[in-house]
Every structure is written in structure tokens, then in C-alpha cells.
Amino acid sequence: MSKDNQILEEFTSKEYEHGWSVDYEADEAPLGLNEDIIRWISAKKEEPEWLLDWRLKAFKTWEKMEEPNWANVKYPKLDLQKIRYYSAPKQKSKSKSLDEIDPELLKIYDRLGISLNEQKRLQGIAVDAVLDSVSVGTTFKETLSKLGIVFCSFSEAVKEHPDLVKKYLGSVVPSTDNYYASLNSAVFSDGSFCYIPKGVRCPMELSTYFRINAANTGQFERTLIVAEEGSYVSYLEGCTAPQRDENQLHAAVVEIYAAKDAEVKYSTVQNWFPGDKNGKGGIYNFVTKRGICAGDNSKISWTQVETGSAITWKYPSCILKGDNSIGEFYSVAVTNNYQQADTGTKMIHIGKNTRSRIVSKGISAGKSQNSYRGQVQVMKRATNARNFSQCDSLLMGDRCGAHTFPYIDIANSSAKVEHEATTSKIGEDQIFYCNQRGIATEDAVALIVNGYAKEVLNQLPMEFAVEAQKLLALTLEGSVG
Amino acid sequence: MLTIKNLHASIEGTPILRGINLEVKPGEVHAIMGPNGSGKSTLASVLAGREEYEVTQGEVTFKGKDLLELNPEERAREGVFLAFQYPVEIPGVSSTNFLRTAVNQVREYRGQEPLDAVKFLSLMKEKMKLVEIDQKLLSRSLNEGFSGGEKKRNEIFQMAILEPTLSILDETDSGLDIDALKVVANGVNQLKSAEKSTIVVTHYQRLLDYIIPDFVHVLFEGRIVKSGDKNLAMELEEKGYDWIKEEVANTAV
């Protein structure tokens, strides 16, 4: 074994830090999936008739669909009848305010470093905490509501703002969109809802923290963000799950709607349990994320740092419908051990002078497989559309794989589309150079990897960027020398 | 300070160094010269601890310690500095960030408090003057897009910041024009002190006009075949290396 590999070996053997779980009494649906389960979930959530109908319609569509198999990932098929579609911690009373949340649940979030106590929190970030199938609390709701901003759990939005939910639910990702999105539409249990009224700049970062705790349970949440004309919001998403031997399914849907002159920035630091170093267990992260720049001059920017999940299947996309609208996708995807990631984006240019930018940085270590899959589509009336894509791959060791699958589809001759791709190996020379200046190998790797991912990390809000840097180093710890 | 005894080293089974003996005392400047392929850069790499080279025989002591027992970062922290012939590029990592990490790891090893950002910046400002390096260069990614001269200047700047006791300059003059050469040499000379030693590895005598060596050694086929003072360098410049080769051939007979 070469020295390079030895170092990689050490560097990739780091344990997952959020692998613990907590026992609490849960309110659960029976295992399995059928129409009755959907009715059960909908009744549990006291939903209006139209939403139940919407779910059932999605379920009927889904039943006729096939699980997609075009992604560059291999895994034993999940038995969807052996999954529980709803599991919620039993709360002593229905908590109306944060003070009434079961202290045991608050402890879970404290342990994750997410305090739901508004006084203790860093000013400037409001959190919606989703545990298994339900939201357990949302902070700073009142502060935000003074500006007319709605930030609450999806269930609450259905009750309090039915018209908004009805108008936008499924407007970007229809319930017939794809296998996992349709499944989500049928069984989704909770998630976050965010509405920024016309002309309002949201004064703090909004965030959702997803935690899966229960075993044999899938998490199916929906996030819906609506930014009205001239508004701005920056949204963060974080996630972790306990270390379990069996695979768990997370099939979420995120929809973003940006009206004229609106801007939405969506950042994710994904740290689901990736499976152990032999590839046992881990989350299947099959997620549909899409935003529409519906109005002129609007902008949607996705930034993701993907370090977790056994399998990632995720393509945050932008539909650039409004003239002069802008779509961005910045991604760092790290895979280690036996992780597999097939991730990228779609930029659909419909409006005139629309611009998109894709920066994807893959890092593969161990025996992992890391694929970028991206589509740039320029429609017939999208005069002067511009796209720039950059897809870089960094390999650590010689047993991992990096793949790039760009699809470019142009129907307007005025389009300018650029694609750049590089593949590099973390060099012994670079590491030796750092060593020679007194820097230990592990710190050298962290330095080089963070440097490589810098363009993406720079897009993250400050606190998140620091977290992400540490996470990158941690994920790869023990894997190079 | 540095004692090399009968050092043999090979790469992928091919012997390159075949019995080097050298003694460097504090404050001395030694020049290692020799034709291409004589093992000059290998010697520099072996001293710094590059793993591709296998030491098959001999010993190296540095400040009383067995240098060959130490890994590369420990050697660096003990005060061995190698100015690289071809400094690598590290995209996305600024020189400033890189050096601060290095300085603080070295300080930690020596039991010193880490330097905070303010103190580190003032240290940088002070040393920048030595090699006339522009601050803008230091906020750019390490060596990325630097010209040959800028890279070498940056090496000497790092040397100034890290204050090594033994500096090894590996062909620092290659690729430099005369002005850059003067700046680099001037930096090196200002860093000289009674406690610090320098080994200058070079093919040409040119650099030695500016960094005056106390000793000049000629390396040929992995051995030091001739030693002298700075006049030896002049002689080599005038006559080339062929006469040395002949001399060696004659002694062998």
C-alpha cells in the first residue's frame, strides 16, 4: 500500500458524530403504505379535504411509476411496505409556544448544538425544528410576523394560511413529477413554510433542522418558500440521523417560488448518517429540490455541502422563467468509504437574458463513487441565455471514482454555454510541501480540501461556512497522509 | 549543527547518493555544486524527509538528534527549511492562511503561544520588506499563477517568517533573472546570523556572487568529490565540470 493510501485510510476512518438516538414515546402509523395510511396521516394532522384529495391523487400516480434507475448508484431496493410513514414524539400537551415544548425534545436539539431557546440563540437565525415526522418548534415567529413574514411548520401553514399553501403547493414540483416526489406528495408529514411579503428583506437567516430519530421510519418533509415581489430571504437547512444498521429513507421536496425582483438563497449542509466504514446502514437521501424564478429579474441560488448519506440522489434546480432571471448552483459533495452520490442541478432557461452558473466540487475518498449530473437547457425563446458550468473532481486514493454527466440542450442559437471540468488527485507533493513548513498531514489535507472547496464555501452564510469547513475536515479525517 | 556520515540513498532501487560526508557548523554557508544528475536535489530532498527516497545507509544528526528518525513536519519544526526548486501550487489557500497555519504549528511544537491575526500580520509586514514581496501576492492562492521569480521570492519570504536554523536552498537561482536573483540573495543574506546555517544547492556559480559561501563542495555521481572555498566555484564557472569528471576517473584508476 502506498503512503498516499495509508494516509487516506487513517483519514477516512473517523466516526460519525451524531449517531446517537433517544428513546421517547411516539405516536406512530402502522408499518406499510396504502390508501388507509394516507388517510390516517391526513386525519392525524386534521387536514382539509382538498389536501387529502391532493395526497390521494399523488398516491394513485405514484402507484403507476417505476423507481428511477438511471442514477450512477447501486443499492438493494428498499421495501417500501416495511417503512413507517409517520412517527411523532408524543408531547404531553399540544405546545403552542416554545416554552411548552417537552424539555426532553429540547435536549435533543441542544445536543445537536441547535438551541431552540430564543434567548440563547445567536441573534439572526430563526429555526424550525423537525423531528422525524413533525415540527417540534419554530423560533422567532413573532419577531418575523411583525414584518408580515410567515415562518412556521407546514402543518401550521395548512391551518393558518390555507390559501397560500393551496396556491403554491405543487406549483414548482408537481405531485406527478417523479417517483420520490410523488411518494412524498402522498405521505409528507411536515416541513417548513416560509412566506416573504412584497418588498420585505428578511432580517435574519431562516433555517430548518431535520433530525431522524425513530428506527424503520422514513422522513418525508416538504419545504415551501414563497418570495413575493422585491423580497429577499436566505434559508438554511441542516440534517443528521442516528447510526443504525438498516438503511433509512429520506425523500423530501423543496419548492421555491421567486416573484419579480425577488431573491432566494438556499443553503444546505447535509450530514445524514453515511453508513459505517464497511458500508452498513446510512440514509438514502432521495430529494427533489426545485425553484422557479417566475418573475423578471429574480434570482435563486442553491448552495449545498453534502457530506452525509449512504446514497444521495439530488438535483436542486432552477426554472428561469422570468426575463433576466438568474439561477446559481454551488455544490461540494464529499463521499467516503462506501458512500455514493449522484448529484447536480438543472438549469432551465425559458426567459430572455437568463443567466445560470454551476460550480460543482466533488471530493471522493475510500471506495466511494461521486457523480455530477447536470442539465443545461435553453428553450426556444430564451434569447441571449448564458450558462457557465464548472465541475471539478478531487480524488483521494485510488479506489474511489469520480464521474461527470453533463447534458446540454440548446434550442436558441444566441445562447452561450460554457462547460469546464477538471479532475485532480490530492498530491503527495502538496502534502509534502505543507509538511516541510511544519504542518501535520491531517491539517494539510484539511487545508487543501478547504482551499479546493473555497468558491462554494464562500457562498455560505458565515456561521454555516465555519461549520462546513470543520465538517469537511471531519468527514475526511483519517484518509490521507 | 548538521553532520552527515556516509549517507546512501536510492529511489525505486536506483542508488543516487553513494556515501555523502558533510559537516555544517552554525553560521556557515555551504554551497553544493555539481553537474546535472549528480544527486544535489536528492540530497536536499533526503534532508527534508521526502518519502520517495529510501536511505539505505549512513546517518544524519541535526542539533544532536537523529534527523532520519523524524518525519518531515518534525524536521521542519526542529528548524530545517527547504526552499523548493519547484514550489507547488495550492489553489484556494492564501499564502497568508498557509503560513499562519505553519507558524502556529511550529510554535505549538516549541511550546509557544499561537500568534493571533494581528501579531501575525505585523510579523508578515516586517518580513515582506526583506524580499520586496507585495502584500497582494500573499492574499492570492499559494503560488497559483505566480511567475517563477514570485515563487522563489515567496519561498525566501516563508523562510524569513519561519526562522529556520538550517536553510536548504534547492536551485533557488533557476529561472530567475538577475534582478530577482539579487533580491532573493539579499533576503538570504539579511537572514544570516551566527546561529543559522545555509546550504545552497546550485548548478551555476552566479548565485554565489551574491551569497558568498564559506565552503564549496562538488557532488558527482552521488559523492562529494572535491571541496574548497569560494574560489572553487569560480574555477568551475570557468572550466565547467569536465575536468572534475576526469579527475575522478583518474583517481579511480
In order, the DSSP letters of A49-110 are: HHHHHHHHHHHHHHHT------SS---PPP-GGGSBS-EEEPPSS---SGGGS-HHHHHHHH
What are the cell numbers at A52? 387529502
Convert the pLDDT of each residue in A258-270 to its tens digit: 999 999 999 988 8
Test mutation, A425, A428, A429, A434, chain B, max B CBs within 10 A: A434
What residues of B are in contact with residue A456 (Cβ under 8 Å)?
none
Convert the pLDDT of each residue in A204-213 to its tens digit: 888 887 777 6
**A448 to B50: CB separation less than 8 angstroms, yes or no:** no
What residues of A are in contact with residue B92 (Cβ under 8 Å)?
450-455
Nearest Cα neighbor of A480 from A364, A402, A389 is A364
Nearest Cα neighbor of A329 from A310, A350, A315 is A315
Q: Above 60 in pLDDT, residue A435?
A: yes
Nearest to A3 among B51, B76, B99 (CB): B51
Look at residue A38 and give its three-state secondary structure.
Answer: helix
What are the cell numbers at A137? 418548534
Highest mean pLDDT out of A105-109, B117-121, B144-148, B194-198? B194-198
Q: Residue A185's CB: how many other CB atoms inside 10 A?
A: 27
Indicate the average pLDDT of chain A: 85
- Show contacts of A66-74: CB within 8 Å, 24+ apart: A66/A179, A67/A179, A68/A178, A68/A179, A68/A313, A71/A313, A71/A342, A71/A371, A71/A373, A72/A340, A72/A342, A72/A369, A72/A371, A72/A373, A72/A403, A72/A405, A73/A311, A73/A313, A73/A340, A73/A341, A73/A342, A73/A369, A73/A371, A74/A340
Contacts of residue A163, Cβ cutoff 8 Å, sequence gap at least 6 = none
The answer to whether the beta carbons of residues A7 and A66 sit under 8 Å apart is: no
Phi, psi of B188 (to 5 degrees): -60, -45
**A438 to B158: CB separation less than 8 angstroms, yes or no:** no
Q: Above 90 in pLDDT, residue A119?
A: no
Q: Above 50 in pLDDT, residue A177?
A: yes
Nearest to B105 among A430, A439, A452 (CB): A439
Residue A436 to chain B, least CA–CA distance (Å): 5
What are the cell numbers at B62? 541535526
What residues of A are in contact with residue B73 (Cβ under 8 Å)?
435-436, 438-441
Tell me the torsion sign for CA atoms A481, B2, B5, B11: positive
How far is Cα A460 from Cα B1, in angstroms, rounded to an integer? 49
The residue with greater pLDDT, A91 or B75, is B75
Residue A481 to chain B, least CA–CA distance (Å): 11
**B90 to A443: CB separation less than 8 angstroms, yes or no:** no
Query: Which residue is listed with cell 386534521?
Result: A46
Kindly list the domain boundaries of chain B, sorted by start residue.
2-252
Nearest Cα neighbor of A249 from A278, A221, A209 is A221
Question: Which residues of chain A are at the B interface, by a Cβ-Cβ cutoff of 8 Å?
Answer: 3, 427-430, 432-441, 443, 447-448, 450-455
What residues of B are in contact with residue A433 (Cβ under 8 Å)?
84, 87-88, 90
- The confidence band for A14, taking pLDDT boundaries of 50, 70 and 90, is low
| Segment among A25-29, A280-284, B71-75, B144-148 with least mean pLDDT | A25-29
What DSSP designation does A306 have?
E
Q: What is the pLDDT of residue A410?
A: 96
Nearest to A439 among B75, B84, B101 (CB): B101
**A439 to B48: CB separation less than 8 angstroms, yes or no:** no
What are the cell numbers at A423? 479532475
Q: What is the pLDDT of residue B125?
A: 92
Q: What is the pLDDT of residue B44?
A: 96
Q: What is the pLDDT of residue A289?
A: 96
- CATH code: domain B2-252 is 3.40.50.300
The helix (H) or strand (E) run that includes residue A35 is helix A35-44
**B49 to A455: CB separation less than 8 angstroms, yes or no:** no
- CA torsion A121-B116-A467-B88 (nearest 10°) is 170
The answer to whether the beta carbons of residues B58 and B223 sit under 8 Å apart is: no
Phi, psi of A435 (to 5 degrees): -55, -45
Centroid of chain to Cα A294: 22
What residues of A are in contact with residue B151 (Cβ under 8 Å)?
none
Residue B79 to chain A, least CA–CA distance (Å): 9
How far is Cα B163 from Cα B158, in angstroms, rounded to an integer? 8
**A438 to B77: CB separation less than 8 angstroms, yes or no:** yes
Residues recorded for chain B: 253
- The confidence band for A6, taking pLDDT boundaries of 50, 70 and 90, is very low
**B88 to A437: CB separation less than 8 angstroms, yes or no:** no
Query: Which residue is listed with cell 546561529?
Result: B195
How many CA within 13 A on the CB side of residue A420?
7
**B84 to A437: CB separation less than 8 angstroms, yes or no:** no
Q: Above 50 in pLDDT, residue A9?
A: no
**A436 to B105: CB separation less than 8 angstroms, yes or no:** no
How far is Cα A268 from Cα A111, in angstroms, rounded to an integer? 20
**B76 to A437: CB separation less than 8 angstroms, yes or no:** yes
Residue B113 to chain A, least CA–CA distance (Å): 16
Q: What is the pLDDT of residue B240?
A: 86
**B101 to A447: CB separation less than 8 angstroms, yes or no:** yes
How far is Cα A205 from Cα B73, in angstroms, rounded to an integer? 41
Q: Which amino acid is at A23?
A: D
**A427 to B51: CB separation less than 8 angstroms, yes or no:** no
The answer to whether the beta carbons of residues A190 and A133 sit under 8 Å apart is: yes
- The confidence band for B131, taking pLDDT boundaries of 50, 70 and 90, is confident
Convert the pLDDT of each residue in B137-182 to its tens digit: 888 999 999 988 899 999 999 999 999 999 999 999 888 888 889 9
Q: What is the pLDDT of residue B170?
A: 94
Convert the pLDDT of each residue in A242-262 to its tens digit: 666 677 888 999 999 999 999
Q: Residue A222's CB: how many other CB atoms inside 10 A?
A: 24
Q: Residue A294's CB: how many other CB atoms inside 10 A?
A: 21
What residues of A are in contact with residue B87 (Cβ under 8 Å)?
433
What are the cell numbers at B26? 552554525
**A438 to B90: CB separation less than 8 angstroms, yes or no:** no
Q: What is the pLDDT of residue A5?
A: 43
The answer to whether the beta carbons of residues A249 and A286 sit under 8 Å apart is: yes
Nearest to B88 among A430, A438, A441 (CB): A430
Residues recorded for chain A: 481
For B98, which residue in chain A has the nearest alpha carbon? A447
How far is Cα B71 from Cα B49, in angstroms, rounded to an integer? 6
How far is Cα A356 from Cα A361, in angstroms, rounded to an integer? 17
What does the DSSP assignment read for A176-188?
TS-HHHHHHHHH-
The answer to whether the beta carbons of residues A474 and A6 sit under 8 Å apart is: no
Residue A91 to chain B, least CA–CA distance (Å): 48
**B102 to A434: CB separation less than 8 angstroms, yes or no:** yes
What DSSP designation does A221 have?
E
Q: What is the pLDDT of residue B163?
A: 92
What residues of A are in contact with residue B71 (Cβ under 8 Å)?
435
**A437 to B71: CB separation less than 8 angstroms, yes or no:** no
Convert the pLDDT of each residue in B207-232 to its tens digit: 999 999 999 999 999 999 999 999 99
Q: What is the pLDDT of residue A243?
A: 65
Convert the pLDDT of each residue in A180-191 to its tens digit: 999 999 999 888
Q: How many pairs of residues across A and B have Cβ atoms under 8 Å apart?
A: 74
- The confidence band for A124, taking pLDDT boundaries of 50, 70 and 90, is low
**A437 to B98: CB separation less than 8 angstroms, yes or no:** yes
Nearest to A438 among B76, B92, B141 (CB): B76
| Segment among A100-109, A214-223, A296-305, A437-446 with least mean pLDDT | A100-109
Strand pairing report for A317-320 and A340-349: parallel
Q: What is the pLDDT of residue A242?
A: 62
How far is Cα A240 from Cα A271, in angstroms, rounded to an integer? 5
Q: What is the 3 state secondary structure string of chain B?
A: CEEEEEEEEEECCEEEEEEEEEEECCCCEEEEECCCCCCHHHHHHHHHCCCCEEEEEEEEEECCEEHHHCCHHHHHHHCEEEECCCCCCEEEEEHHHHHHHHHHHHHHHCCCCCCCHHHHHHHHHHHHCCCCCCHHHHHCEECCCCCHHHHHHHHHHHHHHHCCCEEEEECCCCCCCHHHHHHHHHHHHHHCCCCCEEEEECCCCHHHHCCCCCEEEEEECCEEEEEECHHHHHHHHHHCCHHHHHHHHHHHC
Q: What is the mean pLDDT of residues A295-301?
A: 98
Convert the pLDDT of each residue in A347-386 to its tens digit: 999 999 999 999 999 988 888 899 999 999 999 999 999 9
**B73 to A441: CB separation less than 8 angstroms, yes or no:** yes
Share of chain B above pLDDT 90, in %: 71
> What ipTM was predicted for this assembly?
0.95
**A433 to B90: CB separation less than 8 angstroms, yes or no:** yes
